[in-house]
Structure 1
Amino acid sequence: MNNYNNKNKIIKKGLMMNLSNPKIIIFFLAFLPQFAAKNGNTTPIPLQLLYLGLIFVVIAFLVFTFISYLSGFLNRILSNKPSIQVVLNKITSLIFIALAIDLAVNQF
């Protein structure tokens, strides 16, 4: 039961963070109206925006669910193999070094 309560707390926290995120609100206000049809015989614009918002939410939910399951799967595979972790750490450090060099070159 404790695990269930923790999941609910995490879900509520994520929901509140997304609902209060001004970037999401600005995105919806700036991006979605471009796709609303202004013809007289179509669905009212507020309802169109609601449909578009719901489609966005469903797609985002599916993508984030896929990413969550994939990351959990990869975690189970990679956490038991220290040699793979060493290789991943080296690749990550090379990427950071390449980004630092690129930043240094582009600054001058």
Structure 2
Amino acid sequence: MDIHLVLAFVAACTLLSLAPGPDLLFVVANGAAGGRRAGVLAALGMSTGLAAHTVAAAFGLGALISAAPQALTAVRIAGALFLLYLAVATWRSSRAEIQQNEVPRRSLRRTYLMATLTNLANPKVILFYIAFVPQFVGTGPGTWPVTAQLLLLGLVFIVIGLAVDGTAGLLSGTLSEKITARPGIRRWMERASATVFAGLAARLVADSR
């Protein structure tokens, strides 16, 4: 592969990962609601979703979606519904806390799976692999096979994304654990997270118009 293309891709991925997009906001919201481990697990879930997108793009899913654009619309609707479900579930969790006067334990496995599904259902990630990543694929004699190049570029994106999301999840979780000793504050953190999930769902719906 052309080292200049790889370096340009690293720079572009770093900027994209640092931008406050849906994935980063989702990780921060989980860290704020569930603590450091929840934030880091959410970041790992996002990376798992990216790994699945990478493999799918490398083996031709992008071409299939380009031939059938309605598939992308279906993914967008599924993602919006899933985020709306998370918003409702998190809001109900905050109400349960008031009734029981204790901080509910969050399932880390559930947090990881929710993050993975959220990334898989994000149509912008699919578009990223269809429209953006191929721009950094080299052509000509002596270049790697396209599949190998896509897998390597996807791995680079995953590593960068995990570093950024993991740091954000750790920081938001640490802050959450320090300021949420009082049940009242925990309640509002849960509700803020629910608002973020609902906002992301609304954004997906708006993007489809």
Please give the range of the TM-score, normalised by the shorter of the 2 chains.
0.5 to 0.7
Q: Which residue matches 1:55? A: 156
Q: Percent identity?
A: 36
- Within a 5 Å distance, the mapping from 1:22-101 to structure 2 comes to 22-79=123-180
Q: Which residue matches 1:14? A: 115
Q: Mark the structure with the bigger radius of gyration.
A: 1
Change (3 A) 1:4 1:40: farther
Question: Which one scores higher on RCO, CA 8 angstroms, separation ≥ 6?
Answer: 2
TM-score by length of 1: 0.62
State the Cα deviation string for residues 7-58 of structure 1 (Å, max 9, x = none): 1111111101211221100011111111111022111112101111111011
RMSD (Å) for aligned C-alpha atoms: 2.4
TM-score by length of 2: 0.34
Counterparts of 2:153 and 2:128, CA distance in 1: 12
SS in 2 for 1:13: helix
Counterparts of 1:67 and 1:46, CA distance in 2: 31
Give 1:77 shift: 4.4
SS in 1 for 2:140: coil
Aligned length: 78
Code of the residue aligned with 1:27 in structure 2: it is F
Counterparts of 1:33 and 1:70, CA distance in 2: 33
